[in-house]
Structure formats: C-alpha cells, structure tokens
Amino acid sequence: MSDRAEKRRVLTEEDLTYVVEQLSIFDAYPGVVPWNRAELWAAVMDLHMTAKTRADREAFAELVGALRVVDVLERHFLRK
C-alpha cells in the first residue's frame, strides 16, 4: 500500500465508537460503548440463535449488513 493511502487512515477507536453509537440499529446491543467488535458480533449471533419469527430473522440480516459495513470501516480506516 502506498504512503498516500496510509495517510487516509484517520479513524480512532473513539471515532468508530461514535459512528456505531449513531446507528440506532445497535441501540439494544452490548459492545457499542466502548467499541468491542467481538462482543457486538456475539450479541448479533445470539439473536440469530434465538430468532423465532420472520421479523427476528430480518432484524438479524439488517444487523449483519450494518456490521459488515462497520468492519470495512475498521479494517481500512482505523488507525492502529
């Protein structure tokens, strides 16, 4: 990766926490504040395991989609 691409990586964990906090889809789940990727994914997977209705399964699918976007942000823009 070029130096120029590296300079664009400007998110911190606090920034990522703020982004996820602003997404109301994650309000009921742990791992948002402070940002804990594993805890949030575990809570979403637990929803999948306990889903009994179509609405639960649709909520799970939406959460997984949102988490994938957050994972991309973390992978490409988080300053480590």
pLDDT at residue 1 is higher than 80: no
In this prediction, residue 33 has a pLDDT band, given cuts at 50, 70 and 90, of: confident
What is the four-CA torsion angle of 80, 46, 23, 63, rounded to 10 degrees? Answer: 100
Query: What DSSP character marks residue 1?
Result: -
Q: Which residue has the higher pLDDT, 42 or 33?
A: 42
Mean pLDDT of 31-52: 91
* Cut 0.85: pTM above it: no
Query: What DSSP character marks residue 26?
Result: G
Q: pLDDT value at position 4?
A: 62
In this prediction, residue 45 has a pLDDT band, given cuts at 50, 70 and 90, of: very high
Q: pLDDT value at position 2?
A: 57
Phi first, then psi: what are they for 11, rounded to 5°? -85, 145
Phi first, then psi: what are they for 19, rounded to 5°? -60, -45
